[in-house]
Structure 1
């Protein structure tokens, strides 16, 4: 039964919505009952959806960042840090947090509160119960991951063109050794551009299929935030997902992008970079590091000497990245590249 066909033109309250839908509350599980109780408590679906969406985003984002802040503070974990000589200071983390919060409240919050009307316009379920089954949700989530990764790859490359990089994307590249909080450390325009890839997939899907619930979108947003924060964590553990799923991107893949400025434009997966050849420098670097380690082991170098060897190669890659970044900025300024 459609929203427009059953409800008056004015904005109905939650009780009207559930009454018009003929909701049988006796068949709901505990989570669905809490969902209904939330909408009845707020009594305005636009505000109810906006509030829970924003609170979810903040709780997931900072909740996922906290473990990485703790890990950064414990020296034991340095052996798994991709750039162990660059641990973020409390001051850097606080500076990053301030810009992230500014973007969240000035850019993302207004957008999130506009989501309910847009969602219902394309046929998305929001206040409705029961929730969708996992059998329905899983293929939807897979599609959203694929769409966002593709959108991000091409948008990210555009952000590395001279003018867009200098005026927008350069902020995100402030940290050559990223950390979890820096996942959304970006210019407001970049937040909107790349955020489009996250939400456009669900909206486009719903426009054509009309079987999407906002709960599925919340699961997607949670997974996407986990992916983005973990990719910026700066750590590569033996149990990290990229060692289990070979085509997963992960921190090891994205850390090179921040360190060397070039290559690895995807978010979740490695296939666009591999197919389109934008991981050539990354793969060459990994091969050099591996070959140098093997050669060092054959020469009987100590663990400390091997670490110093890898540190030197990291510095060389970063120096090349600085030169590449400066070249892009000079192009944006119309200066002759030396």
Structure 2
């Protein structure tokens, strides 16, 4: 990790505090080979002078901003009639009271269950060899590692999600997540603490295990993966099927079209990101677009019979 040059820290000699900008300028002057993001990253660690604190704050803030920032557009769309035509279960629109109650429980979980784990993330990084230094890995390296994590997490999620739907496990653990049969974005992490830890291992534990084996993973790659996973989870719980939804371009992608049916029927469609495990294991119960098509066909048939 970058260490500021003493000659640049005149403010320390005068007794004034050294600011984040001081560190950034110092790094920018003596590390011209770094890009602006790498300079900002190094300056953050140099400014706090406490790697555990630096990683912990950055990890928690990133998670909260991405989670609620991605869910907010769907909260707004739920209040605008124009978007009702894209809502999969338009007859079950969530109320503001339901969304606020959901947000409160999710926040409670974030501060009581996830925050302590996030605070232990940097010691885990050091123990298993995750890099926090600059420069960052190449885009190619980050891309293939993130793609691998999507595939591995999907397998973990499918099998453990399926276990959570066995009668005993469902009643003890998973039932809370199915409180909303018509899901919405904020409900992506609406779950019991035990479920959060079980399924979150696929998102966090798998990359850490990968690093333990390969000694080749940077925390910034981990962050980009978590951002992608949060986007996927929130989108799949959004309850919206758009003409531009990703599964129209990647047929094996799941998304809300796949997962909304799981919440509506409480069984099947256990995968998180992809459709192949459900297709292979015979747990594919169709998609929202297929259901809408069948309803249209029934309506047309009824009109003809009249």
Task: Give the gaps of 5 or more residues in structure 1.
Answer: 1-12, 17-22, 302-338
Segment of structure 1 superposing worse, 270-279 or 160-169: 160-169
- For 2:234 and 2:269, the matched residues in 1 are separated by 16
Summarize the Cα distance change of 1:165–1:32 in structure 2 as closer, same or farther, 3 Å threshold: same
Partner of 2:293: 290
Residue 27 of structure 1 pairs with residue 33 of structure 2: yes
Aligned residue among 62, 74, 79 for 2:80: 74
How has the CA–CA distance of structure 1 residues 288 and 151 changed in structure 2, closer, same or farther, with 3 Å as cutoff?
closer
Q: How does 1:1-338 map onto structure 2 within 5 Å?
A: 15=3, 25-126=31-132, 128-279=133-284, 281-282=285-286, 290-297=293-300, 300=303
What SS does structure 2 have at the residue aligned with 1:278? coil
Contact 2:239 2:256 in 1 (8 A): yes
Length-normalised TM-score, structure 1: 0.79
Assess if the C-alpha contact under 8 Å between 1:80 and 1:235 holds in 2.
Answer: yes
Contact 2:252-2:276 at 8 Å conserved across structures: yes
Q: Distance in 2 between matches of 1:150 and 1:224?
A: 14
1:81-117 CA-partner distances (Å, limit 9, x unpaired): 1100111101000100010000000010100110111
String of CA shifts for 1:243-296, please: whole Å, max 9, x gaps: 1100000101000000001110000000000000001x336x976653442353
Q: Which residue of 1 aligns with 2:10?
A: none
Change (3 A) 1:288 1:231: closer
Structure 2: runs of 5 or more not aligned: 5-26
Distance 2:229 2:291 in 1: 32
| Cα separation, 2, equivalents of 1:217 and 1:181 | 22
Q: Check the 8 A contact 1:54/1:112 in 2, yes or no.
A: yes
The answer on whether the counterparts of 2:51 and 2:122 sit within 8 Å (CA) in structure 1 is: yes
CA contact (8 A) 1:14 1:45 kept: no
Shift of the alpha carbon at 1:37?
1.0
Deviation at 1:299, TM superposition (A): 5.9
What does the per-residue CA deviation read over 1:1-38, in whole Å, with 9 as the maximum and x for residues that have no partner? Answer: xxxxxxxxxxxx9739xxxxxx9623211111111111
Residue 159 of structure 1 contacts residue 169 of structure 1 at CA under 8 Å; is this kept in 2? yes
* Counterpart residue number, 2:12: none
Could you tell me how far apart the structure 2 residues matched to 1:132 and 1:73 are? 42
**Contact 2:183–2:260 (CA<8 Å) still a contact in 1?**
yes
Partners of 1:148 and 1:198 within 8 A in 2: yes
* 2: CA distance, partners of 1:91 / 1:204: 40
Post-superposition shift, 1:163?
Answer: 1.8
C-alpha contact 2:262 2:270 (8 A) present in aligned 1: yes
How many positions carry a matched residue from both structures?
280
Note closer, same or farther for the CA distance 1:196–1:52 as it changes in structure 2 (3 Å cut): same
* Helix, strand or coil at the partner of 2:91: coil
TM-score (norm 2): 0.87
